[in-house]
């Protein structure tokens, strides 16, 4: 019976996390743009790109290292 059960793809949680992170980046970016955020540009770039990329890479490495 275990042979007929469908096997889950290991990266499904990563794909879900990717969608959630992209949704959060879009939301925060919109709020920064609509609210005329006074934060320096380098901080905005870090919040909208660097931090999510680092998070997604670490999450990806965690999921592919699991057996």
Question: Looking at the predicted structure, is the pLDDT value of residue 8 above 80?
Answer: no
Of 37 and 22, which is predicted with more confidence? Answer: 22
Mean pLDDT of 25-36: 89
Ranges of each domain in the chain: 12-65
Predicted TM-score of the model (pTM): 0.74
- Taking residues 23-50, report their average pLDDT: 88
Cα distances from 15 to residues 12, 21, 23, 37, 49, in angstroms, run: 5, 10, 12, 30, 17
**CA–CA separation, 30 and 53 (whole Å):** 18
Distance of CA 24 to the CA centre of its chain: 8
pLDDT (0 to 100) of residue 12:
85
């Amino acid at each position: 019976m275990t042979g007929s059960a469908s096997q889950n793809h290991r990266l499904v949680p990563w794909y879900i996390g990717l969608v959630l992170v992209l949704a959060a980046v879009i939301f925060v970016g919109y709020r920064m743009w609509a609210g005329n955020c006074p934060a320096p540009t380098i901080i905005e770039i870090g919040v909208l790109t660097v931090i999510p990329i680092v998070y997604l890479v670490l999450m990806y490495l965690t999921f592919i290292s699991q057996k």
